Structure 1
């Protein structure tokens, strides 16, 4: 194999698990705080990076929500998206399906329109500048109640032609997918796709619920599904895509070290696993960093890496003809490299 990093960088790929608020780098956080005259609880970029030492998901979320407070205007959200897409394009990402958390912003008094229009402007710029296509997925914060999720879905109605699907994120333990079954049913009735974080910190039962009650089209994380042989078999047989985030798993102590990551077990079990960066500014790596870390720790070979990239297109919400085009270009690239 050629140099691992350059091979992975050149590999055409999609990213299917990326929280746009989680791509807020400390430098941009400081710039936006200054632009909007918002005080933040850090004296320097170095202070922010030092704070990124989490012992669990909640520790991370506390800092994540504090950082999001600097995002105030359409320009801020456009700049946030543009910074991510520039980095993704450099990592060989050809298509990205990004999560956003409107409740994080509307609860601070920022109108839904400001968030959505800012992100959509950044997405349009990325396509014009890099040829990088993208889709937007609205996530409900699971630590809030069902009524708040319904309110958010209602607020999103004018943008539903530009929103691909709904998701479920934030604190997993104690907030099972069943809590949101009715709002997901309503969203699917509006023609939206459904995804959900399940089986990261939560038990395999949460994955069953996501499948049977939320009727998800894609599973975010899903690591703990491997604890249940019947569930693993069901996921494999149904061709369910798992959006796996290795460095996130490490940073949030879902795994003790990268050598314990299950990505190769997922592939051997026939699961349609993909590699993604989750909240890259906070977890120390964008998509190439995640591929490389997983490959080095678990001995993934060239074919495994191509499979993961292929899975990322197969698991996307692009039309079949566009998926076929991406896969053909990926296979041609792999044959030539």
Structure 2
């Protein structure tokens, strides 16, 4: 292992873009299927991994939603979430901000509170037992209607103490952020932080809409912002963070080769870019894997990795005091390694 890879493995990290349903490992998929008597179209975990050969975002989503069917009880959601948090511990992730997709479960008859209680119980245990801090972000599925999103927001309101933000994910092309303007206005009025997937497969115009109509605090992905100089300048000026996911981009064909990934250019232009794992079992790696692979492909140096981590701390939805604690922890760690 190279000196840089060791540095990346050990540096304290913050993750801002992880779909908890997308952290379902093939082995757990089979365990939960057996627990809940769900028949899978695969013989074993190896066969599932072979199916992770996606041509685009929709290919991935088809199998992603199929995997959701094994998640049925509060214990299932607890086990899923706590397994991810143990990966965080192994990767030295100090703080994580997790997406969940309630519509993917309530549409199957799984109660909103079952999903939320399982996840939040695990997050609380992750804090107590593993020392990992976390925030929870509820996402709307953009291929569904805004009316469905409005109903989901209503379901979430009694649990505002457990959900810090509202997001927008799933099939991007053909479902612009403007489709969800009303529900985001209401979510903002209720005090939620706001994020949206934009500019992954969709055009730069989707990023403009997310900023101007949804008034988001962060952009998830945002790769295609570089195609629009005015947009890039605005993102830099306003300090809007981009939660970039390199291995996801590679696996879904957003980039054909990591050597051509825009992340280094983003850094050089002053964008507040961060690195994240998105749906790690599907895309081939958690936080350390993503950082090591992109560092090797783009010839990043230690200062780039530190900048990415500082960006993530600043862009998190933690209060200012908590951000200062994480920043101090990072700086102290850097002093210990000389």
TM-score range, shorter chain: over 0.9
Question: Who is 2:184 aligned against?
Answer: 184
Does residue 126 (structure 1) correspond to residue 126 (structure 2)? The answer is yes
Q: Tell which deviates more after alignment, 171-180 or 318-327.
A: 318-327
Q: How far has the Cα of 1:307 moved from its partner?
A: 0.5
Structure 2: 5+ residue stretches without partners: none
CA–CA separation in structure 1 for the residues paired with 2:159 and 2:313:
25
Q: How far has the Cα of 1:41 moved from its partner?
A: 1.1
Alignment of 1:106-117 (within 5 A): 106-117=106-117
Question: Who is 1:231 aligned against?
Answer: 231
Question: Who is 2:73 aligned against?
Answer: 73
Q: Is the 1:306–1:334 Cα contact (8 Å) retained in structure 2?
A: no
CA–CA separation in structure 2 for the residues paired with 1:284 and 1:201:
20
Equivalent pairs counted in the alignment come to 337
Q: How far has the Cα of 1:8 moved from its partner?
A: 1.0
1:171-208: CA deviation from partner (whole Å, max 9, x where unpaired): 00000000000000000111000000000000000000
Q: How far has the Cα of 1:331 moved from its partner?
A: 1.6
CA–CA separation in structure 1 for the residues paired with 2:199 and 2:220:
8
Name the SS of the counterpart of 2:161 in structure 1.
helix
Alignment of 1:112-261 (within 5 A): 112-261=112-261
1:140-172: CA deviation from partner (whole Å, max 9, x where unpaired): 000000000001001112211110010000000
CA–CA separation in structure 2 for the residues paired with 1:6 and 1:57:
32
Question: Who is 1:29 aligned against?
Answer: 29
CA–CA separation in structure 2 for the residues paired with 1:288 and 1:306:
13
Q: Tell which deviates more after alignment, 13-22 or 1-10.
A: 1-10
1:225-255: CA deviation from partner (whole Å, max 9, x where unpaired): 0000110010011111110000000000000
Structure 1: 5+ residue stretches without partners: none
Q: How far has the Cα of 1:2 moved from its partner?
A: 6.1
CA–CA separation in structure 2 for the residues paired with 1:6 and 1:151:
47
Question: Which ranges of 4 or more aligned residues in structure 1 deviate by more than 3 Å?
Answer: none
CA–CA separation in structure 1 for the residues paired with 2:29 and 2:158:
29
Name the SS of the counterpart of 1:220 in structure 2.
strand
Alignment of 1:88-103 (within 5 A): 88-103=88-103
Q: How far has the Cα of 1:4 moved from its partner?
A: 2.5
Question: Who is 1:335 aligned against?
Answer: 335
Q: How far has the Cα of 1:13 moved from its partner?
A: 1.3
Superposed CA RMSD: 0.9
1:74-99: CA deviation from partner (whole Å, max 9, x where unpaired): 00000000000000111010000000
Question: Who is 1:48 aligned against?
Answer: 48
Q: Is the 1:93–1:132 Cα contact (8 Å) retained in structure 2?
A: yes
Name the SS of the counterpart of 1:156 in structure 2.
helix
Q: Is the 1:22–1:64 Cα contact (8 Å) retained in structure 2?
A: yes
CA–CA separation in structure 1 for the residues paired with 2:249 and 2:109:
32
TM-score normalised over the length of structure 2:
0.98
CA–CA separation in structure 1 for the residues paired with 2:258 and 2:135:
30
Distance 1:2 1:41, change over 3 A: closer
Q: Is the 2:200–2:223 Cα contact (8 Å) retained in structure 1?
A: yes
CA–CA separation in structure 2 for the residues paired with 1:83 and 1:131:
14
CA–CA separation in structure 2 for the residues paired with 1:129 and 1:291:
26
